[in-house]
Structure 1
Amino acid sequence: MQPIQRRILLLGASGYVGGGLWSGLSPRHWVTGTCSSRRVAELIPIDLRDETALAALAQQGFDLVIHAAGLVDLEQCEANPPLTRDLNVRSVEVLIQALHGTSTRLVYLSSDNVFDGRLDAYTEDDPPAPLTVYGRSKVAAENLLRDSRHVVVRIPIVYGRSPFSDRFFERFRKARTLAQTDIVCTPLYLPSLAPALEQLWDYSGLLHFGGSEVMTRYTLMSRIRDALQLPTEIVPVRSAELPGGQLRPPRLILRSNRHSLSGPGLEEALADLRSMASP
């Protein structure tokens, strides 16, 4: 059954995850996307710190506001906590206030980095224990939306193509690509996120959505390189060997006790990637 067409404001459409959502949602919905410092012709430029402009845009009669913007690089967040809070937390406060009294619902994309990686797996019932400025900013934003009509969707590391910021595949253009053997996750194929959100955005509260397989980052990168016959050498490393590696929790397995959806297995995702043009 085709989803009901929605009028959507997609914040962060110029980014990696946001671009994937733009590609997936635009053919089926009326999507207005935004960009920030890197301008994209079909997107509206906006600075999340411009509270007046952000509130005015959100109040233009959308059915949904999907917040896929903000600061995500762990080292950048550690270096600038005030900016991290402005982009990842304060923007949510502004949106909540702007949408009060309207029928527009907010879908906020959060992260598995709200956890410390000590448990075998995490569901929505497990309490957050963030290790980083980034993780703490995500928890702070989630808390603003607790017990509201809005929805928070936590996602893990994401892989696949994105139209405006293809940063995942940029790693494969290097002669050598470092990949951790001690970081375990449920990687999510980016094109699966948009159709999943179409099934999840009528929920409220907190949701997890991850991939169906558990693997290390090294396994993920190696299998993609081999399947697509990419020229880079995948070099196995321990997380502590990388700059900022200590910031990454060692095991982040997202599972849900609120729904049965999950992203495709890696072989299915690789078949889809092989059907596209090579990098």
Structure 2
Amino acid sequence: MNPFWQPSGWPPPSDSRPRILLLGASGFVGGGLWTSLTPRHEVVGTYATRPLPGLVRLDLRDEPRLAALAAGGFDLIVHAAGLVPLEAAEADPALAHRLNVRPVEVLLDAVRGSATKLLLLSSDNVFDGTRSRYTEDDPRSPVNVYGRTKTAAEDLLLAEGGHLIVRIPLVFGRGPWANTFLDRLAGPTTAARTDLVCAPVYLPSIGPALARLWDRTGVVHYGGADVLTRFALMSAVRRALRLPTRVVPTEGGSGCRRPPRLVLRSTRHTLLGPGLDEALAHLAA
């Protein structure tokens, strides 16, 4: 493995290797976590609709099943499941709440009084995008349904105490099963916005970073090193992979409001995702 995305000191010492329940292991980010964590940890992963070898089926709306799994004696539950597309959340706020907020309530009820810790993957969309950068201490002000559901889920964990929220930005890379990011570049043309600025993080770096952070509680940010527009990111990926698509610059959009500038930085640790050039060299290898 290329060591550039492995934080200093990786792997963690043997006494910090918990038994993990990974919710959403069949997804894009969840699949990246599954690939990273399973060689070093005992991991039980879940899928919703796409049967995959080694994963167990779970519909987040099946609350008895979710509660039973959560109560299975895990040291850590990594919650990487839910309704992610911003447009889908905007179109059906009730479903977004049902998949992004209610499962956290069920999980908290299931693990209360036990030693199990919850780690919720949250989003930079809890912010409104009006600041040059955001740290863990900045006030949240979501402008879309997805961001509001993530804020509500965070509030549940923060009120309980003892758990961890890791906010991540736009994730790029190649997933083992779902290729949500690269699928955007599958057509003859790819529209990419020049008015949205991000600090994207490379998928393979997230698992090692979480392993360095999961002993913490409260909120931490994990973002990418480089700050660029969506158009610049898509153009760089197209060049690195020599994809036949043509990336077309656009401004504005439909479906839901998006924060114009989302740059996550941390005051609580020094980890950053790899630079874009390093990440793309790894992706293209």
TM range (shorter): over 0.9
1:254 partnered with 2:274? no
1:92 partnered with 2:101? no
CA distance in 2, matches of 1:231, 1:272: 20
Structural mapping, 1:14-25, within 5 Å: 14-25=26-37
| Residue matched to 2:171 | 158
Deviates more, 1:38-47 or 1:156-165: 38-47
User: Any idea what SS the aligned residue of 1:97 has?
Assistant: helix
Structure 2 residues without counterparts, runs of 5 or longer: 1-8
- Specify the code of the residue in structure 2 equivalent to 1:31: V
User: Any idea what SS the aligned residue of 1:269 has?
Assistant: helix
| Residue matched to 1:191 | 204
Residue 242 of structure 2 is aligned with which of 229, 234, 237? 229
| Residue matched to 1:269 | 279
- Percent identical: 57
- Specify the code of the residue in structure 1 equivalent to 2:37: L
| Residue matched to 1:55 | 67
CA distance in 2, matches of 1:248, 1:39: 32
User: Any idea what SS the aligned residue of 1:131 has?
Assistant: coil
Residue 254 of structure 2 is aligned with which of 243, 246, 256? 243
| Residue matched to 2:56 | 44
Deviates more, 1:123-132 or 1:169-178: 169-178
CA distance in 1, matches of 2:245, 2:75: 43
CA distance in 2, matches of 1:36, 1:130: 27
User: Any idea what SS the aligned residue of 1:21 has?
Assistant: helix
CA distance in 1, matches of 2:236, 2:91: 33
User: Any idea what SS the aligned residue of 1:76 has?
Assistant: helix
- CA deviation vs aligned residue, 1:136-174 (integer Å, no higher than 9, x gap): 000000001115110000000000011111121112221
Quote how far apart the aligned CAs of 1:30 are.
0.8
Structural mapping, 1:42-121, within 5 Å: 42-121=54-133
| Residue matched to 2:217 | 204
Structure 1 residues without counterparts, runs of 5 or longer: none
With normalisation by structure 1, the TM-score equals 0.95
Quote how far apart the aligned CAs of 1:37 are.
1.9
Deviates more, 1:223-232 or 1:121-130: 223-232
CA distance in 2, matches of 1:159, 1:78: 23
- Specify the code of the residue in structure 1 equivalent to 2:221: H
1:177 partnered with 2:190? yes
Instruction: Tell me which stretches of 4 or more aligned residues in structure 1 moved more than 6 Å.
Output: none
- Specify the code of the residue in structure 2 equivalent to 1:140: A
- CA deviation vs aligned residue, 1:98-152 (integer Å, no higher than 9, x gap): 0111111000000000011011111111110001111000000000111511000
Aligned length: 272
Quote how far apart the aligned CAs of 1:79 are.
1.4
Quote how far apart the aligned CAs of 1:9 are.
0.4
CA distance in 1, matches of 2:216, 2:33: 18
